[in-house]
A = this chain, B = another copy of it.
Amino acid sequence: MADWRVIEGGITAPKGFQAAGITAGLKPSGAPDLALIYSDCEAIAAGVFTTSHVRAACVDYCRQRLEARPSARAILINAGQANACTGNQGWVDTVESAASLGSALNLPPEAVLIASTGVIGQRIKMEQLKAGIPKLVESLSSEGSDAAAGAIITTDLVPKSVAMETTIGDRPVRIGGIAKGSGMIHPNMATMLAFVTCDATVSPTLWQDMLRRAADRSFNQITVDGDSSTNDTLIALANGESRTPAITDEGAEADQLEAMLTAVCQYLAKCVARDGEGATCLIEVTVTGAVTAAAAGQVAKTIAGSSLVKAAIFGHDPNWGRIAAAAGRAGVTFDQSDLRIQLGDFLLMEHGQPLGFDRPAASAYLTAATQGDYLKTDTVAIGVSIGDGPGSGQAWGCDLSYDYVKINAEYTT
């Protein structure tokens, strides 16, 4: 049973964090486009970044910064220009952005991390960014999470934010997070960005290990169509302001903190998948009976990413054959006579062979899930078992609709 609860406040729910979001004139649309996350004291910082060999300057910058010293005071995020494929000038702009914000905050530039999202091949509009910094700093507030969440989105339909609270050593510990992205893919190949704040006291290596594992069970398990981006960034700060005992080793308290961190990341990851381009529902795939959790996760992600499965769900077609075929090609060895497939409450296949089931009712289940308010709650649940092993895992995606093609065919760089 989860021993945390969802609370209000987003990334400013944890003690000692402030945030801000303003319109600096980076986006042509005039929407908010510059965000700041600020810790009142030095925070342990961990990061997980895109594995692409074509990366934005800010990704290389943050990775180098965190390798040199795993801490930070502030994260500056601009939306509008991805600053990827911008060569040496992109690097210079990133360094200058950090220096400008550091100067305004009376911090050394090394205390500032940078993330960018927007159009690939476009430099950050530095003049607007630098002109906006004083207003941004002035706007910092311990209730600024929503403003920051709204300033990092690009084509997202909704901002994505959550906060949770647990108790460690009789004191409350909180984690908050915001994210942006319409899935791993995006009409302008912008980015999946997520930022997490925490007021626990935790050692840097443990925090990095926790974040890596949480990312593997959340953001790394969502897919819209597998087009991971040049700017994908997840950064988590922990500033110790909860004044709880330091967590420096694996153990019960570390497990508790990691479970809540994972829950925050999974919540945000599901928000991103649900907001996938053209999506009408969230698809949640749960795989059990695998030899390892990694194998289960791989099968789950393959099913969630199958265009045929996604199109069938959009068409309200309980097409178990496509789920079986996707499981079979996932690169995980299993005996096909062990395959069991469930859609919602409908058992479609067992022992590797199709079962009779109420097809109109199963189709109605999909119709209901794809015609409600998908940005809020509607989920299609696919359950797959591939044996009697102890490994289980989940993945999340969305259906494939006409609007996906429309959005991506009609966009022009």
Closest to A400 in B: B405
A134 located at the interface, meaning its Cβ lies under 8 Å from any Cβ of chain B in the complex? no
- The answer to whether A410 touches B315, judged by C-beta atoms less than 8 angstroms apart, is yes
The CA-CA distance from A351 to B86 in the complex, in Å, is 10
- The answer to whether A324 touches B412, judged by C-beta atoms less than 8 angstroms apart, is no
* B-facing residues in A368-407 (Cβ within 8 Å): 400-402, 404-406
The CA-CA distance from A354 to B89 in the complex, in Å, is 13
* A interface residues, Cβ below 8 angstroms from B: 50-55, 84-87, 119-121, 185, 188-189, 225-230, 306-308, 311-312, 314-315, 317-322, 324-330, 332-334, 336-337, 339, 349, 351-354, 400-402, 404-406, 408-413
Chain B CB within 10 A, most for which of A337, A405, A412:
A405
- The answer to whether B409 touches A314, judged by C-beta atoms less than 8 angstroms apart, is yes
The CA-CA distance from A11 to B159 in the complex, in Å, is 59
- The answer to whether A85 touches B409, judged by C-beta atoms less than 8 angstroms apart, is no
- The answer to whether B413 touches A321, judged by C-beta atoms less than 8 angstroms apart, is yes
Closest to A412 in B: B317
* Residues of chain B lying within 8 A (CB to CB) of residue A55: 328, 336
* Residues of chain B lying within 8 A (CB to CB) of residue A188: 321
Closest to A315 in B: B409
- The answer to whether B322 touches A227, judged by C-beta atoms less than 8 angstroms apart, is yes
Selected from B53, B307, B329, the residue in CB contact (under 8 A) with A336 is B53
The CA-CA distance from A96 to B413 in the complex, in Å, is 58
* Residues of chain B lying within 8 A (CB to CB) of residue A225: 306-308
- The answer to whether A325 touches B53, judged by C-beta atoms less than 8 angstroms apart, is no
Selected from B50, B328, B334, B354, the residue in CB contact (under 8 A) with A121 is B354
Seed contacts A120-B324, A227-B308; 17 additional CB < 8 Å A-B pairs? A51-B329, A54-B336, A54-B339, A54-B352, A120-B325, A121-B321, A226-B226, A227-B326, A228-B329, A230-B328, A307-B408, A308-B408, A314-B409, A315-B410, A317-B409, A400-B405, A401-B409
The CA-CA distance from A9 to B404 in the complex, in Å, is 43
21 A-B contact pairs sorted by A residue (CB < 8 Å): A85-B336, A85-B349, A85-B354, A119-B321, A120-B321, A120-B325, A121-B321, A121-B353, A226-B226, A227-B306, A227-B307, A227-B326, A228-B329, A229-B325, A307-B408, A311-B409, A315-B408, A315-B412, A317-B413, A321-B413, A400-B409
A223 to chain B, nearest CB (A): 11
Selected from B228, B315, B328, the residue in CB contact (under 8 A) with A53 is B328
Closest to A231 in B: B325
A263 to chain B, nearest CB (A): 28
* Residues of chain B lying within 8 A (CB to CB) of residue A405: 311, 314, 400-402, 404-405
- The answer to whether A85 touches B324, judged by C-beta atoms less than 8 angstroms apart, is yes
* Residues of chain B lying within 8 A (CB to CB) of residue A308: 185, 189, 225, 227, 408
Closest to A321 in B: B120
Closest to A306 in B: B227
A7 to chain B, nearest CB (A): 36
- The answer to whether B406 touches A189, judged by C-beta atoms less than 8 angstroms apart, is no
